[in-house]
Every structure is written in C-alpha cells, then in structure tokens.
Amino acid sequence: MTYMKKPNVRHPGLRKNDLGLTRRDYEGLVSTLCAGCGHDSISAAIIEACFELDLPAHRLAKLSGIGCSSKTPTYFLNRSHGFNSVHGRMPSIATGANLANRDLIYLGVSGDGDTASIGLGQFCHAMRRRVNMIYIVENNGTYGLTKGQFSATSDRVSKSKKGEANLFEAIDLCTLAIHLGAGFVARGFSGDKGHLVPLIKAAFRYNGFAFIDIVSPCVTFNDHEDSTKSYDYVRAHNEAMDRLDLVPEREEITAHTEEGQTTTVRMHDGSLMRLHKLDDNYDPCDSESALTTLRKRYAKGQVVTGLLHIDNTDADLHELLGTTKQPLNAVPMGDLCPGNAELAKINKSLR
C-alpha cells in the first residue's frame, strides 16, 4: 500500500473515449493491498475495459463480498454504484438488485474463499438462474487476509509458503460453471492484461451470467517456488486457447480470418466477438469439448486460459421469469402496487 494519494495530474496526451473520458476517470482510490498484488492488475484491467467500451460509470454497480478481492471495487470506478455484502452473499445481493433494476450493468467481484468456500452455494444458484451479470473471481489459491492458509481452489500439488502439502483436491470453478449452465466461462491471468482486457470487454457485452476466473498471484503468501498460482508458474504453464477481438457494432469487419480457426459470435448488443482459436481440437461452443479440454490440460499441470465456453442462445433470468421490461423504479406506482382490490383478486384465484 501507499500513504500518498495518487496525484490528479495526468498526461496531457492521454486518449479520450467517446464519452470524453480518459482511463483515469475510471479509477478509484489508491489500493491498500500488498504492493504487487495480482488483484490490482485486475482492477486496472477492469478500468481499461470500461474505458475502451465507453461505459458510463454511473450505469454500473459493483458488488462484492469479503476478502482481499472483495475490497478491490474501492480501487476502480469510483463514480459507480457499489455494495460490499456479507461474506459469500454477493450473488444474492446481485440477484435482488438485478431483478429490481435490470438496466444497470452488474459487476460482481469475489475471491476464491468468498466464492469456492463460504459462498459456493450462492455462486451455483446465481449461475443456474442465469442472472445477467459479470462475475469475476480473483483467484489466488490462498486465504491472504488470514495469513495464507490453503483455499478451496489450491491445487493438490501446490505447497504452502512454509512447505506444507495440500491434502485436498481443488475445486475448478470453470468446470463447475460450465456444468451449471453459465453461458460465458473464461479464465484469465492477472499478469497478462493483453489477453485479459478483451475477455472482460466480451463479458460486459454478454447477456446472461458471464464468469471469469482470473488467476491472480498473492505476492505475500502464494508466489513461491512450489505454488501453482505464482507469477512464474502461471507464465510457464499458461496455455491460451484463444485470442479475442471484440468488434463494436458500428465497425465493419474487414480483416480476413483463416477458415476453421475463427469463430464469430454475435453478442446481444449487436457487436461481434471473434475468437481466434489456438487449439484445433477444442470448440468453445460445445460444452463437452470444453470440459474434456479442461480436464486433460489440468492433468498435465497446464493453466488453460481464454474464453473456454460460450452459449449465446439461452435466455437470462428476466426472460425466463417474464418480468417487466422496466426497472422497478420506473414502473408507475399504480402498476407497481395495484391496491387491495387487485390483491383480493389474486388471493381469490389461489384459493
């Protein structure tokens, strides 16, 4: 951490987006996490993605639970809405908020403890329900705030900083997400923003539950030689399955891409996502293929990154429930609360 506020002065040549904002307009307070924390890079990647997508910050809500990762929403988008919930309960808050106001963009930020341990049930149900949100897990495989115990995502081969062995199998959150029907499942690495930023941008454009598991080294407790979530290990074993391009709706596609190597997916808002596959044997549109690839590569000790699975056809929670198209705060009071006579009618129909 640092004691000094990041000066407001900025480079006069800083690029502006369509809203006339610079990247710095999407920043938050200076991080109080350990220097070099992967989570800070993820915050920077979120800032970059929002800037590039010209997102109006006031139309976005940041939600989080408890943990180092859940502190990070303070460090980006300080002009957005935010809710720091109880440990592991962020998915419930997100679901409720989303049902009340479907017009906001929901960004959930959680960690491996908040999601894979205390909040595992909540996480599963948010996916099942296809809540329209982005759910980012900043996954460092350790409980940093409580001094470095193994978390539920620590790989069995990984050792603690003091050399203790991990007795339990890891929960692979991407595999779980594909199983439970998340329509957008990706894995990124905090140390590779060039790859990560397009993933976050694509997730913002996806309608439904978009999950990104981001491997994020804990410099204090999990960046040693026997860790499988260290900068060095992930860099040495990173297998990127694809490279993403997000083509905004207004831009024409001009570049030719190689047959069979590129999958183009039209996103909900009309923009196109181009996936340049780096592995022939895998098809992100086929969940079976994705699961097989994940399992095989994991067995080899590889860290698979990229957009692992996408299904753009399924309806989201609002469509499934047939809710009103308007956010509740815009529904006229008379419709929102039709009065005793209506209530009596409904009650009667249920008798």
Residues in contact with other proteins by CB under 8 A are 1-15, 23-24, 30, 34-38, 40-41, 43-44, 190-191, 193, 217, 219, 223, 231-232, 235
Instruction: Taking the CA atoms of 265, 266, 267 and 268 in sequence, report the sign of the dihedral they define.
Output: negative
Q: Which is nearer to other proteins, 2 or 349 (by Cβ)?
A: 2
Q: Which is nearer to other proteins, 91 or 191 (by Cβ)?
A: 191
* Token pair in block for residue 70: 């859940």
Minimum separation from the CB atom of position 28 to other proteins (A):
12
* Token pair in block for residue 4: 């000094």
Minimum separation from the CB atom of position 34 to other proteins (A):
7
- The 184-189 sheet, strands edge to edge: 81-84, 60-64, 105-111, 133-139, 209-215, 184-189, 303-310, 238-240
Minimum separation from the CB atom of position 36 to other proteins (A):
3
Minimum separation from the CB atom of position 219 to other proteins (A):
5
Minimum separation from the CB atom of position 235 to other proteins (A):
6
* Token pair in block for residue 281: 């044997």
- Residue 184 carries which side chain, given as an amino acid letter? F
Minimum separation from the CB atom of position 306 to other proteins (A):
18
Minimum separation from the CB atom of position 243 to other proteins (A):
15
Q: Which is nearer to other proteins, 40 or 213 (by Cβ)?
A: 40
Minimum separation from the CB atom of position 318 to other proteins (A):
35
CA–CA gap between residue 136 and residue 327 (Å, rounded): 24
Nearest to 36 by CA among 187, 216, 166: 216
Q: Can you spell out the DSSP letters for 166-229?
A: P-SPPP-HHHHHHHTT-SEEEEEETT-HHHHHHHHHHHHH-SSEEEEEEE---TTTS-STT-SS
Q: Which is nearer to other proteins, 50 or 66 (by Cβ)?
A: 50
Q: Which is nearer to other proteins, 34 or 120 (by Cβ)?
A: 34
- Give the helix ranges, DSSP H, for the chain: 38-52, 68-71, 90-100, 112-116, 120-128, 173-179, 193-205, 231-237, 287-299, 317-321, 333-336, 340-350
* Token pair in block for residue 268: 């909900």
A 10 A CB-CB count for 124 gives 17
Q: Which is nearer to other proteins, 12 or 322 (by Cβ)?
A: 12
Q: Which is nearer to other proteins, 144 or 191 (by Cβ)?
A: 191
- Residue 246 carries which side chain, given as an amino acid letter? L
Instruction: Taking the CA atoms of 176, 157, 64 and 45 in sequence, report the sign of the dihedral they define.
Output: negative
Q: Which is nearer to other proteins, 223 or 316 (by Cβ)?
A: 223
Per the DSSP assignment, residues forming a β-bridge with 246 are 273
